[in-house]
Amino acid sequence: MGKWNLSTGIILLSKYQMASIAQYQFFKELYAEENTRYNELTKKAEVYFSIVSLFLSAVLFKFNDVSSSIGKLHNVCLIIGLSISLIAVGIALLLLIYSLKIRKYEGTIDMEEYIGKNKTYYQEDGEFYEDRIADFIVAIDRNTETNNKRADLLTISTYFIVAGLLFLIAFFIYFFTLNK
């Protein structure tokens, strides 16, 4: 948990102005928005993971039949098309797993620091809100960075899923054309 001071570069209020409840609520809502975004990105990754799992299961289930048919046709284009499709979906799967693994998320308060600070003296409300706002700012910044990484990985994995599905569709069109 980051501490609010000049060295962190977070300057919210001057020493002459105390933080208000309204300011605290504003940053609390921003923090909640990032938590909501994190949950939405996780759900999106889970949906993508389901799509990729179904795709790979279907291909692996029929792999022996398809590979024997390709062998009978002796067509390199079919092998390359299926291989590219599987590689693209495999890369998408790895990106999805990595995006789900990103869990570095910042909480809103360092309890040890808070307890230690309040052992020595009692904080006034304004000072308490200043500290909590500083905690929210640090947490929001770190959580936004985490969410952006996850969103970027999901975007890239989307492209690989689409590419894999397009190559698979092209594979099947070409496969059934040659089988006729």
Give the pLDDT confidence of 51-67 residue by residue, as tens digits.
999 988 888 887 777 77
Q: What is the pLDDT along the chain (180 residues), one digit of tens a residue?
A: 444 433 343 444 444 456 778 888 888 899 999 989 999 999 999 999 999 999 888 888 877 777 777 766 667 777 788 889 999 999 999 999 999 887 776 677 777 777 777 777 777 777 778 888 888 888 888 889 989 999 999 999 999 999 999 988 888 888 778 766
Backbone angles phi, psi at 102, to 5 degrees: -65, 110
For residue 18, the tally of other CB atoms under 10 A from its CB is 15
Per-residue confidence (pLDDT) for residue 5, from 0 to 100: 39
Q: Which residues contact 140 (CB under 8 A, 6 or more apart)?
A: 27, 30, 31, 34
Nearest-5° Cα angle at 161, 158 to 105: 40
Total Cβ atoms within 10 A of residue 96? 27
- The C-alpha atoms of residue 139 and residue 133 are separated, in whole angstroms, by 10
What pLDDT score does 88 carry?
94
What tokens appear for 101 in the block?
Answer: 């693994």
Name the pTM for this structure: 0.73
Q: How far is CA 138 from its chain centroid?
A: 19
